[in-house]
Chains A and B, each alone.
Chain A
C-alpha cells in the first residue's frame, strides 16, 4: 500500500472522491440481497448501488451501458465480503475504464465462491451461533443484555465492512488473492471453535425428556434419571442430534421437513406419554 492513489480534487472527470466511493458501497450495503432473484442473484443490487459512480467513470452512454451489462451478470457472495471484491473492481474500472471489463468480471466470478465460503461461515454461522447461544440463554431468563451487546457488535461490524471496502479499493487484486489463503486457514480454525460450541449446544440446548417410569416389583425406577442419565448425560439429545444430522445429509430431507417431523414426534410423544416437558 505504499504508492497510493492520492486524494483527488472533487470534480476531475472519471476520478472518484472518497465520499462518492463510500456512498456507492453504502448503497450496496443497504440494498444487499433485498432485490435478490434466483437467476442473477445479487447482480441487480450491484448495478443499483454502483450506477452513479460508474456514470462518472463512463461519461459515454455506450460504454456506460456496457459496464452496467457487465455488472448485471450473476453475482452472489456474503455481502460483507463482497465489499472487498467491489472495492477492487471499482479501482480497476476507475483506472482502466471499459478495458478492464473482462478482468472485472473474472475477478468477481473467481472470488465470489471462496469469499462466500469464508464469509458465510464466519458471519452467518459462527458469529450468530456463539452470540445467539449466549444472548439466547440470557433472554430465556428475561435478560436483554446479550441482545443489546449483539446490536453493538453489529455496529462495529458495519464499520469494519466499510474498512473492507477501502482495503479492496486501496490494495487491488494482489492482496485479495494472497488474503484468500490466509482467510481459509482462519476459517478452518474458527470452525474448530464453532464445532466445540456445537458440542456444548447438543448437551445443553436440545431438550428431550421421558417421564416414563419402570416398575420392578415394588421398586419404581424413573427411566430418565435412573437409567438414561446414568449411561450418559444428555444421551437422548445426542441420539436425536445424530438422527437429524443423518437425515439432513439425505437429499430428500429439507430442514422444513425435519422441523415438521420433530413437531409430529413431539405431539405423538406427548399424546402417548413417552415424552414430556422436563421439570425444572
Chain B
C-alpha cells in the first residue's frame, strides 16, 4: 500500500472506531480489534498484534461506565502500531509513545460532553419551534465533536510523529524506556482494581482466591479457570433461582399470574 493511502486509512480508523464503540459496537474500540484493522492497513500483522495485545492486557477491566472518561487505549494502540511501522521502533517504545497520547485524549472527552449540553438544549429549542428537521440535524454535531477527539491527535502524530519520535528516541536514556516497559507490565493492575470495585468482591472473595491459586500455583491457563468459574456461576444461579422461586411462591400465593402479553398498565 502506498504510504499516503496508509496514512489516510489510519487517520480514519480511530474516528470510526470511536463512533462504532459508542453506538453500533461491531468493531468496538478494543486494542485488539482496532489493532487487527491497523495491522491490515500497515501490512505487519505480527507487530500490530503484539502492540495491541500489550495494550489490551493493560486495559483489562477499564470501562467508561455511566459516562466516565477513561484512557483511550484504542487510540494508544493505533498510534503505537503506526509509529512502529514508520520508524521501526520496538514494542516498548511504541507502547511508551502510545500511552501518553491515549491519556491526553481523555481531556477532550470531558470538553465534548460539555459541548453536547449545548446541542441538547438547541435541539429541544427546535422541537418547541416545531422545526423538526433542524432538531434532528443538529444532533449530528455530537458524533462530529467526538470524531475530532481522535482525529486531531492522529493528524499531529501522522504529520510530526515519526520524525519526532525518532529524534526523541535518540536522546532518551535507557532507564526511561526500561521504566516504561516495567510500567506496561504493571498497568493492567489498574483495570483489575477497577473491576474489583464494580463487582461484589467482598462477598465473593473466595472466587478471586481460587482463581489466583489455579493460575499461580497450578499454572492453569485463563480459559480453563474461566470454565471452573462458569461451573461456580451455574451453582450460584441455580441456588439463587431456587431461593427466589420459593420466596415468590410464598408471597404470590393465589395471585393469577397467567395473563402476560400486552397489558402494561401498572
Contacts and interface: CB of A to CB of B under 8 A. Distances in A.
B180 A266 contact: yes
Contact of B260 (A130, A132, A171): A171
B200 interface: yes
A136 B60 contact: yes
B49 A198 contact: no
B26 interface: yes
A10 interface: no
Contact of A139 (B56, B103, B123): B56
Interface residues of B, number: 116
Given A39-B117, A134-B222, A197-B222, A237 B189 contact: yes
Interface in B160-198: 175-176, 178-183, 185-190, 192-198
Contacts of A105: none
A259 B61 CA distance: 13
Interface of A: 1-5, 29-41, 43-45, 47-48, 51, 55, 61, 64-65, 68-69, 72, 76, 79, 88, 91-92, 95, 103, 116, 120-121, 124-125, 128-130, 132-144, 146-148, 150-151, 154-155, 157-158, 171-175, 177, 181-182, 185-186, 188-209, 232-234, 237-238, 240-241, 244-245, 247-249, 255-256, 258-259, 262-263, 265-271, 275-278
A142 B35 CA distance: 11
A35 B142 contact: yes
A37 B120 contact: yes
A154 B183 CA distance: 31
Contact of A244 (B190, B198, B210): B190
A44 B142 CA distance: 10
Given A199-B209, A199-B210, A256-B106, A33 B66 contact: no
Contacts of A38: 67, 113-114, 116-117
